[in-house]
Amino acid sequence: MNKRGRLIVLSGPSGAGKSTVVFKAVEGRDDVCFSTSVTTRKPRPSEVDGREYFFVEPDRFKEMVANGELLEHAEYVANSYGTPRAYVESKLNEGLNVLLDIEVQGARQVNQSMPEAVKIFIIPPSMEELKRRLQGRGTDTERAIEARLIRAKQEYAEADFYDYILVNDDADRAAAELSAIITAENCRAFLRENLLKQEQD
Ligand code: ADP
Ligand code: 5GP
């Protein structure tokens, strides 16, 4: 119904369950799409180029930054990550809501360039549970897990500009809350004032 979609920025510590919750929240919704990021991180065994990420060499990443091809970009635990700008713009213009799963520095850049973006921070019930989930996922070494836990605490300290905080204790409940936020944010009056104006003519 809306001419332009909402940009939904989702952040939270690695292992909080962002992918799990997002997957459940958008099941059956045709008004939401994901932006696939670019990263210099090496693919995990289950990851496919172009699906989880576009995996690129550091030189190509630098070139994309220099050409202004990225809406935002940041370093995270020794790798670079960024959001391709063209995809996001074209989907928003088609009226679709676009979901970004990005860390806090990148989210802050988006907040500055597109302050109307909806910012959601997702957290696990505790740091102990976060560690258990990272270990259970089995994709990171113990050293990488420790680095991600340190980064998680830094992110909590920097997360003062988000509009919503979701606690992922029960993934179904967190997904229902995320879906409700997306629905409500599409009913905001500033997006629909034109509907009132049409009736006054
Ligand atoms: P992120 O995308 O934030 O890095 P993932 O979605 O990969 O996190 O989840 C990290 C791990 O935690 C996965 O193994 C996932 O199955 C598990 N997980 C996610 N949500 C929950 C939850 N509510 N309760 C228990 N385990 C969960
Ligand atoms: P992972 O290596 O676990 O896939 O992701 C590590 C972190 O990078 C996560 O917090 C994730 O949200 C973030 N991330 C993924 N893509 C992007 C991106 O395009 N930009 C930014 N700034 N962060 C990203």
Write down the pLDDT at residue 134.
Answer: 93
Asked if the structure places residue 107 within a domain, the reply is yes
Domain span holding position 114: 7-35+96-200
The CA 102 to ligand 2 mean position distance, Å, reads 5
Q: How many domains does the chain have?
A: 1
Name the closest-CA residue to atom 18, ligand 1: 17
Mean pLDDT of 58-84: 97
* Whether pLDDT at 1 is above 90: no
pTM value is: 0.94
Asked if the structure places residue 177 within a domain, the reply is yes
Asked if the structure places residue 51 within a domain, the reply is no
Give a three-class secondary structure readout of the chain.
Answer: CCCCCCEEEEECCCCCCHHHHHHHHHCCCCCEEECCEEECCCCCCCCCECCCEEECCHHHHHHHHHCCCEEEEEEECCEEEEEEHHHHHHHHHCCCEEEEECCHHHHHHHHHHCCCCEEEEEECCCHHHHHHHHHHHCCCCHHHHHHHHHHHHHHHHHCCCCCEEEECCCHHHHHHHHHHHHHHHCCCHHHHHHHHHHHHC
The 10 Å CB-count burial string (b at 16+, else e) for 143-175 is eebebbbebbeebeeebeebeeebebeeeeebb
Asked if the structure places residue 170 within a domain, the reply is yes
Give tens-digit pLDDT for 10-55: 999 988 999 999 999 999 999 999 999 999 999 999 999 999 999 9
Asked if the structure places residue 140 within a domain, the reply is yes
Residue with tokens 């990148």: 106
Instruction: Give the pLDDT band of residue 197 (cuts 50, 70, 90).
Output: confident
Instruction: Give the pLDDT band of residue 200 (cuts 50, 70, 90).
Output: confident
Asked if the structure places residue 119 within a domain, the reply is yes
The CA 186 to ligand 2 mean position distance, Å, reads 25
Asked if the structure places residue 77 within a domain, the reply is no
Name the closest-CA residue to atom 23, ligand 2: 102
Atom of ligand 2 nearest to the CA of 10: 12
Give tens-digit pLDDT for 78-104: 899 999 999 999 999 999 999 999 999
Check which CATH number belongs to the domain holding 180 and give it: 3.40.50.300
Asked if the structure places residue 85 within a domain, the reply is no
What is the C-alpha R_g of the chain?
17
Token pair listed for 108: 């802050």
Atom of ligand 2 nearest to the CA of 77: 6
Give tens-digit pLDDT for 127-186: 999 999 999 988 889 999 999 999 999 999 999 999 999 999 999 999 999 999 999 999
67 touches 86 (CB < 8 A): no
